[in-house]
Chain A
């Protein structure tokens, strides 16, 4: 079945599957990823205070990676970006690469502020590090 074309300028229409199995499979993948995220969240909650800083941070990074996987499924399948031609995909994905710098630079800046606060120059408002 060919899709209707909305304008004579457009000659390419992604093939749309006749069934909805791909949509439901994506729904289950998103649900499963969310449940794993929640499981890790509860793990951190119930083990609160028993985990090392590095282990807690790694678990949080794993949750963030699962969130990126969810984002991939939503954008690629629900928003059909994966079905568009490659150049279209690139005009969306390449500018978003700016986020790599954006996140790294600003979070490191925030962390640097925290370190400065806890020096004598920053008057050490909270010398005892809180564990959370």
Chain B
């Protein structure tokens, strides 16, 4: 009968971790896998509807604005900025985990602050993009009359262009466009938001010295897994909504 392992071994009941990894990390991985299926189902549903219609909004026309740039045609620029913000905040997160392995509290604090700032910058960008989409005025031919529409979950001004009084003008497109765009980027944005909340919690716990008392910074690693997953999902959202 073993005497060295006694009190702290209840998690897995067999006295040993099946994958030689802590219970918390395994469960975070399984949660992320289920979340990957949720996001995957959303994106595949969007793809199915997009494949089923003859015309879909061209992302280069829909997402071509940049703050303070007026009506300049800048396709992909703003969303590239958002992508690089998220990649960079992923790097600062992995650097925080790295400092945690070295038990360097000051380093963890510094990189957690940078990661939180990156998350807030991303959310700010998304707030601007949504506002621009919803409030933007685009000429649409509705029942022979020209109306000015923003993009919402019930209005899509990016349909097929037709000739009207000698000029090309868009007709209403499938309303699924707004629903999928706001639904999926919103679900992702909510993940970023909750990731920021988790990271702020981890920063506070680091400052209070909880992880030094515990003897390890594994909580930072688990928060990091979630944060990297948010970046991972964005890579696919970027592909499906903006690039193709």
Using CB atoms and an 8 Å cutoff, list the residues of chain A in contact with chain B.
1, 3-12, 16, 20, 23-24, 26-27, 30-31, 34, 37-38, 40-42, 45, 48, 60, 63-64, 67, 70-71, 74-75, 77-81, 84-85, 87-88, 91-92, 95-96, 98-99, 102-103, 106-107, 109-111, 113-114, 117-118, 125-126, 129-130, 132
B228 and A74 contact, CB distance less than 8 A = yes
B228 and A30 contact, CB distance less than 8 A = no
**How many residue pairs, one in A and one in B, have C-beta atoms under 8 Å apart?**
176
Interface residue from B11, B29, B83, B239 paired with A9 (Cβ < 8 Å): B11
B55 neighbours in A (Cβ, 8 Å): 126, 130, 132
A95 and B33 contact, CB distance less than 8 A = yes
Nearest residue (CB) in B for A114 is B52
> B174 to chain A: closest CB distance in Å?
11
Chain B interface, >50% SS class: helix
A34 neighbours in B (Cβ, 8 Å): 80, 83-84, 87
Q: How large is the interface on B (under 10, 10 to 19, 20 to 34, 35 or more residues)?
A: 35 or more
What are the interface flags for B1-32 relative to A under an 8 Å C-beta threshold, 1 for contact and 0 otherwise? 00011001101100111111111001001000
B8 neighbours in A (Cβ, 8 Å): 7-9
Interface centre among A38, A78, A114 (most CB of B within 10 A): A78
How far, in angstroms, from A27 to B158 measured CA to CA in the complex?
A: 36
Known interface pairs A9-B12, A20-B95; A132-B56 also in contact (CB < 8 Å)? yes
B90 and A74 contact, CB distance less than 8 A = yes
Q: Which of B39-47, B120-128, B140-148, B181-189 contacts A (4 or more CB under 8 A)?
A: B39-47
Closest CB pairs A-B (n = 4): A110-B51, A113-B52, A12-B20, A110-B48
How far, in angstroms, from A68 to B49 measured CA to CA in the complex?
A: 22
- Decide yes or no whether B72 CB sits under 8 A from chain A: no
A88 and B19 contact, CB distance less than 8 A = yes
How far, in angstroms, from A98 to B194 measured CA to CA in the complex?
A: 27
A10 and B44 contact, CB distance less than 8 A = no
